[in-house]
Structure 1
Amino acid sequence: MNHLSLVKKICIILFVGLGIFAASLLPNLKFTFDFSQFFPEEDQDLEFYKGFVEEFGTDDNFLLIAIEQDPTVFEPGFLNRFNAFSDASKDFDYVTESASLTSLSYPLKTSFGYTTLPIIHIEDSMAYAKDWEKIKEDALFINSLIDENGTSMVVALRTLDDLNYEQSELLLSQIRTSLKTHELEEYHILGRAFFLEAIVDMQKSEVLKTSVIAAILVLIILLLVYRSLPLVLISMASISLSLLLFMGILALWGKELNAMAAFYPVLMLIVGTSDVIHITDSFIRKIQSGAERYTAIKSSLSEVGLTTLLTSVTTAVGFVTLLSSRLVSIQEFGINAAIGVIVAYITVIFFTGSLLVSLPKKVLLGKKSVSKKWVNYLLAINHFTKIHPKAILFGTVVFAGLCFWGISLVSTNYEFKRTLPNKSEIASDFDFFQKNYAGFRPLEIAVMAQNNFSVLDYQVAMEIEKLMDYLKTVPSIGNLQSSNLPFKILHKANNVNKSDFLTMPKNASVFEKYKKDIRRLGRKELERFVNVDGSMARINGRLQDIGTDNLKLVYEKIENFAQTKLDTTKIEVKVTGKSMLLDKNSEYIRSSLLEGLFYGLLLIGLLMVLVFRNFKMFLISLIPNILPILFAGSVLGFLNIPLEASLSVVFAIVFGIAVDDTIHFLGKYKLGISQGLTQEEALEKTFAHTGRALVITTIILFFGFMVMLFSIHQPSITIGLIISVTLVTALVLDLLLLPVLIRKLIREA
């Protein structure tokens, strides 16, 4: 045994060294959040949007700061403080443009040329009432820079494209400091930088919180199970080390952790715990039967190691099925989680095994051996399956029917607000802009001139105006602007600034005259809406968060209107933008989910056939592992939880982990048959020896994922709840249905 003793020491030293190295890499972990991670890959609309961005820039490079003043913003002290803040905002880092009602003005055409009039006469309080009436008459700034009740005003900042987390933090720090300096306490912020800060901060908090709570939970359960502190410490050390090594690999790899990162600690802890329990349970039983430590570990690894390897591989395959998703964030989660599962297995086999043989027998064993009650209860379940097979099969059919019914109720009408931290500042601010302004979701519509027309031709401009008139009738759309806006403003300026003239000119000659003025005086404003060669224009606005399915109908109606009501020989219209691409996810979730699970079942089926050398074993294992996936889908339907990108990981996790119990059960059964036991004797031994480990690991899995209920992220709560109850369902199916299927499909020779 000297060589085993040497191997043991090498393993312990190696893993401790790797753990220290991994810990040194943790400060390099990066957290990020980018909507583009949820864009469907290899999609025509995504390719079009990339070209659109090259022409006009991104559509989320804005930051809105709404400042409240009750009962009205038209109060001298407030307006002066607001204006001072608005002026200061022009000098903030990463800000390219700042606009507010106190910084903008109306153009006015006089006999001497164009001049300007202030929208709000800040220094003349007697003019406030007239200013407010004028703002309401124009309706140009209502629900964009001021709410319809006049109780809040907005400073709208345009920022550099694609700000990162550090840049966003610096900008927001400057904004908050300036708001405090100017005594503006009631404010709300909305925009990319604020979302990035809030989501990344949530991710960091969630990773830490879930790690601590899950570790405490696992510790308590292991203490209750083994009643041996040294044994529990070995288990916790192994599980914690596997998590540390995994996070170190991500840091070394330079991976940026996204919103899915909160699942990694829970996954590593519970997957590692499952491996530890199966190895340790087998080792302890052999020690109790009088085997020497090295003999016991060799025997345990030969018996349980293979099935544990198989379960790790199948769990990893479950996660790898997420590669079928078109969403980069889901693909990365699948790859990272699969790597984590393999890291946990390697750590448990080599590090846990080395630690187990390092302690004397009396230290390893707790005060109590495995209670006979466990065996009695498990054998009673086996007896129940023997005398009530028809009832179990009938119950399975009814259960499957209920699952299919629940799945038929699943919707994809997902609201963006569900991704925000519960009861957080950002959720509150999101609600404020939803109620008082035009919402958060950007709407982008590309208008492309056809047949040698230009979007700055009068005929094309009038087609664009028809589309604008239609868009104004859609309740969920607001804050609309287009390439026609500069022409309308000049038309009003040439007619004594009367609100009735905030319209398109009635003839082409006037339009051409305004075009020359705009190119001379308002080129920058025009470039926001028209590309260099005049072949494309943009219409932008804001959308209410009414759900992805409802918004997809809005997009379809817009494009249908353009096809049927506009002159398609002059223009082509296409809805684009980040919001539309995010909403398009739902088209791919179902198809990629089914595709991924099909490939996963195929791969795992091949593994099962190769390991068990029996095709019937594959069929037997298939049913108890498909039903939990169907149950997970039905829970979404019955609880009216819309399916969205992050929830697709539920099925990979359930599929990958649920099959573990089946493999351990069938592996123990096959071992019993190979040892010359009859079918009933093999089933009894399987229940007595493996059943306990299955129940314990499921309990840990259940409470481990229930940790997600402490999250402030609604999708995480939903995922934790669904996985927890589904894995319990998987255990029940394994214990009740597997014995029945074995007896029905495998006849003794």
Structure 2
Amino acid sequence: MGQHGFGLERFGLVTLARPRVTALALVLVTAFCALGVWRIEATGVLSDFFRGDNKDYRLYQQMSERFPTSEFDVFVIVEGQDLITPDRLEDLRMLHLELQFVEAVNGVLSIFSMRQAPDAEGYPPPMFPANMPRGEAFDALQEKVTTHPLLDGKLLTTPDNQAPLTILIVSLDKAAVAGDGLNAAVNEIKTLANESLSGTGLQVTMAGVPVMQADLRSAIESDRLLFNSGGVLLGMLIAILFFQRATLILIATLCPIIASVVTLGIIGHLQIDLDSLINTIPPLVMVIAFSDAMHMIFSVRRRLDNGDSKYGAIRHAVLTVGPACALTSITTAVAMLSLTYADSAVIQTFGVSAAMGTLSAFFVVMAVVPSLSYLLIGNEERFRQTDVSRLGMMHRVDRFCLWLSRRVEPHHVKLTAMASVLLVALLATHLQLEPRYRLSDQIPQDKEAMAGAERLDQKLTGAQPVHIMVRWENGKRLFDNEVLGAIAAAHRVMENGSRVGNVWSLDTLNRWLVRSGEDARQYLRPYIEMLPEHLTSRFINPEQNAALVTGRIVNLDASDTLPIVRALDEDLDTLRQSFPRVSFEVTGLPVVAALQSDNMIRQLNDGLLIAIVLVVIMIGLAFRSMSIAAISIAPNLFPLVATGAVLYAFGGGLEYSSVIAFTVAFGLAVDDTIHFLNRLAVEESRTNSAEKAVRQTLFVVGPVLVLTTIVLVLGLAVTVFSAVPPTQLFGRLAMTMLVAALIADLLFLPAIILTLRKLRPVGRRVEDDDVVPL
């Protein structure tokens, strides 16, 4: 049987031959990897998902290098009926001043940053005097504030019959918020705002990408604890329920624990950051290791109960079950590696890490089960005498599979027809799924960042920034008429853009000076030089060879953002002709998401298709039979299209997390098919009857498939309790797919085999000592 696992299972014979050395090596390797676990750091950088070798992300990087990106803007949103009163404005001004003393803050932009038109001497006085006026003087000030072109609809909104709202845009220093500094900075700003405005009746919420990232990092850290502890506890409970022996429980539990530590340790030593995708690897590795361990332990236990020696039972498990475990690990790793087809560094890293974890789990199982079974089981006769009464749960599953095997045979033609019709219908439904991506769907929904973003969507034009980066050739200067004209033209394009508002640029200031009756050409440069750098750097880079026009849109799906982006780019074509020595480019995180998410999701779909083809080919090569490869197609496609149909029925779409879930779960679902075919090859070499071979395979392997599916589903169930929406979706879809895979392999696969009746014996003829007596 060794050819099924390409010989990898023989690693188990090595560990069986040297059990004590293997146990010592496991302790040393686990200790070394445990050191790497402590090196793992959580990250929540939303733009990293689109990091890859594509022009849209490269342009976004170039903009980020020239300008402080929106990834470092925290929006402190303050609203209330008494907002525009002398006392409340004094409170707000004090908050503005205090925020500037936060160590991680680079600058604060608010209504208190604005100035009035220049006076006769060219000096623009502050909008708010040092002493807040009262009575009629304050009414006059209020009129100026609510009609100021740089405030109204930008930093302040006063809609009729609604509470006024203002925002303080707190710019964070990139270096200061690196690593854990981000969470500390966001928490300090939040605490300061709440304390400063406590008792004022004003409501404070926060929004912005840094707040999203802080919420995401906190959720990832919480998930990490939940996944690791929850996975171990669930695995231990299942082991107790079905093994009821301390020795077997210990062996079964150690496999996922050691596999998880080894995988996380390698990730830590390679300095791979922990994101919402990498965070799902520990539960994946745990369930894979536990599933393989159960297959091995059940085989050892069955042989012992039927009179085999301890050494013989373990060796038999390595040689007959080991090849299937090796092949399932290889095919699962291939499915994981197909994710590298996507042009996303984050997804590529996840695919490689998950494949590495899958293979690590296999080698851990092949080290732990043979060595510890030999060292801990003890006297075989005593084991047999005390084991009979401990199989209550297992006997129930055995009886179910025996009942099922007797029902499949007489109805195999109907079941095959049903499988064919269902497969076609579900495939047609699955193909209706459309790509979908929304930036806010990647973060916890019950956190403050979402509440703040919703307020900005309702009362302003949103918090999602869209930029036009304007660059000019060397020799041109910022205040040249051609350059200023290009910036003004880009500003008009952004203003006229559908669903874009709150537009800021150098031209905003220029227009304000013109409205004030001033000579913009005379006052623009000195006014710019007077403004703080953290403010001017938002729309002019330090070298003064590029400018930024920024507008904001509400939280939209990528499919809705894409027409906005394309319309802006088309409108800029006219400017590109009018200003041939100036470049105009639309960019920003929502822009990159809109342009790349659809392409990335389609790449993931293509990668999944490649994985399916490769896995089918590998099954054919491993079993040296293309007919077996062909037979494996339907039961492996069924769970995929069934899960897609369920997703479509509940109004879902093809998000990156759903396609990744399809890919990962496909790799896991194939395991059942391989174990079934592996056992079928054994039974086929003992009899020329397909009916007997299928019936015996269902009886022997069926119970283990049921139990391993329970293990996989419960192990992945912890992801449903995640605060991160993509992780929740990943878990739900993966569990659905695994249940569908069990149905396909226990009902449809046997029926298809019996209907075709053309399956030839696979592999060598099994010798007497390889046959499992029942």
Q: TM-score scaled to structure 1, two decimals? A: 0.90
Give the Cα–Cα distance (whole angstroms) in 2 for the partners of residues 159 and 588 of structure 1: 32
**How is 1:509-520 mapped onto 2 (pairs within 5 angstroms)?**
512-518=521-527
Taking a change above 3 Å as real, the CA distance of residues 682 and 332 of structure 1, as seen in their structure-2 partners, is same
- Paired with 1:224 and 1:393, the residues of 2 have a C-alpha distance of 35
Counterpart position of 1:151: 164
In structure 2, what is the equivalent of residue 504 of structure 1? none
For 2:171, the aligned partner's letter is R
Instruction: Report the counterpart of residue 53 of structure 1 in structure 2.
Output: 64
Alignment-derived partner of residue 687 in structure 1: 698
Structure 1 residues 117 and 17: CA distance shift in structure 2, 3 A: closer
1:227 corresponds to: 244
Query: 1:445 corresponds to which residue?
Result: 468
Secondary structure at the counterpart of residue 321 of structure 2: helix
Contact 2:86 2:138 in 1 (8 A): no
CA distance in 2, matches of 1:5, 1:473: 74
Q: Which range is displaced more, 312-321 or 634-643? A: 634-643
Aligned mate of 2:119, from 104, 109, 127: 109
The answer to whether the Cα contact below 8 Å between 1:38 and 1:645 also exists between their aligned partners in 2 is no
**Partner Cα distance (1:265, 1:91) in 2:** 41
User: Match for residue 187 of structure 1?
Assistant: 204
Q: Aligned pair 1:319/2:319, yes or no?
A: no
| Alpha carbons of structure 1 residues 7 and 76: separation in structure 2 relative to 1, 3 Å | same
User: Is 2:680–2:697's contact at 8 Å kept on the other side of the alignment?
Assistant: yes
Partner of 2:99: 89
Distance 1:408 1:297 in 2: 46
Q: Which residue in the other structure is 2:89 paired with?
A: 79
Match of 1:384 in 2: 407
> Counterparts of 1:522 and 1:155 in 2: how far apart (Å)?
17
Judging changes above 3 Å, is the alpha-carbon distance between structure 1 residues 32 and 235 closer, same or farther for their aligned structure 2 residues? same
Q: Is the 8 A contact 2:658 2:733 kept in 1?
A: no
Counterpart of 2:282 in structure 1 is 265
Where does residue 659 of structure 1 map in the other structure? 670
Residue deviations 1:89-143, cap 9 Å, x none? 2222232222222343223231x33231424775213233333332332343234
User: What is the correspondence of 1:494-573 to structure 2 with a 5 Å cutoff?
Assistant: 494=517, 512-518=521-527, 521=530, 524=533, 528-531=538-541, 536-563=546-573, 568-570=578-580, 572-573=583-584
CA distance in 1 between counterparts of 2:622 and 2:16 reads: 31
TM-score (norm 2): 0.88
Q: Residue 672 of structure 1 corresponds to which residue in structure 2? A: 683
Code of the aligned partner of 1:359: I
Partner of 2:599: 588
Cα shift at 1:238:
2.0
User: Partner of 1:600 in structure 2?
Assistant: 611
Correspondence 1:237-386 to 2 at 5 A: 237-357=254-374, 358-360=376-378, 361=380, 362=382, 365=387, 367-369=389-391, 373-386=396-409
The answer (yes or no) to whether the contact 1:66–1:152 under 8 Å persists in 2 is yes
Could you tell me which residue of structure 2 aligns to residue 16 of structure 1?
A: 27
In structure 1, the residue corresponding to 2:117 is in which secondary structure? strand
Count of residue correspondences: 732
Opposite residue 291 of structure 2, the aligned amino acid is S
Write the distance in 2 (CA, Å) between the matches of 1:276 and 1:520. Answer: 69
Deviations 1:297-324 (A, max 9, x none): 0011111011111111111111111111
**CA drift at 1:441:** 1.6
Match of 1:498 in 2: none
The answer for the alignment partner of 1:62 in structure 2 is 73
**In 1, Cα distance between the equivalents of 2:651 and 2:527?**
52
Deviation of residue 230 (structure 1)? 3.2
Counterpart residue number, 1:99: 109
In structure 2, the residue corresponding to 1:72 is in which secondary structure?
coil
Contact 1:98 1:156 in 2 (8 A): yes
Task: Provide the rounded CA distance (Å) in 2 between the counterparts of 1:9 and 1:745.
Answer: 49
Deviation at 1:594, TM superposition (A): 3.0
Secondary structure of 2:389's aligned partner: coil
1:471 has 2:494 as partner: yes
**In 2, Cα distance between equivalents of 1:89 and 1:595:** 49
- Structure 1 range deviating more: 727-736 or 737-746: 737-746
What CA distance in whole angstroms lies between the structure 2 residues aligned with 1:520 and 1:107?
Answer: 15
CA distance in 1: counterparts of 2:56 and 2:94, whole angstroms: 42
Counterpart residue number, 2:636? 625
Q: Offset of 1:616 from its aligned partner?
A: 0.8
Q: 469-478 or 313-322: which moved more?
A: 469-478
1:426 pairs with 449, 454, 462, which one? 449
The 1:188/1:567 distance shift into structure 2, 3 A limit, reads same
| 1:214 counterpart (209, 220, 231) | 231
Give ranges in structure 1 of 5+ residues lacking alignment: 496-509
- Displacement of 1:576 in angstroms is 0.8
Q: How far did residue 239 of structure 1 move?
A: 1.7
Q: Which residue of 2 aligns with 1:505?
A: none
Q: Deviations over 1:547-574 (max 9, x none)?
A: 1100011101111223358854555532
Q: CA deviation at 1:532?
A: 6.6
2:119 alignment partner, SS class? strand
- Which residue of structure 1 aligns with residue 6 of structure 2? none
Is the CA contact (8 Å cut-off) linking 2:67 and 2:541 kept in structure 1?
yes
Bigger mean CA deviation after superposition, 606-615 or 558-567: 558-567
| 1:499 match | none
Return the alpha-carbon distance in structure 2 between the equivalents of residues 558 and 454 of structure 1.
25
One-letter identity of the residue aligned with 1:242: A
- What is the aligned-residue RMSD (CA, Å)? 2.9
Alignment of 1:102-141 (within 5 A): 102-110=112-120, 112-119=121-128, 123-126=132-135, 127-141=137-151
Q: Which residue of 2 aligns with 1:501?
A: none
Q: Tell me the amino acid that sits aligned with residue 169 of structure 2.
A: A
- Paired with 2:732 and 2:292, the residues of 1 have a C-alpha distance of 23
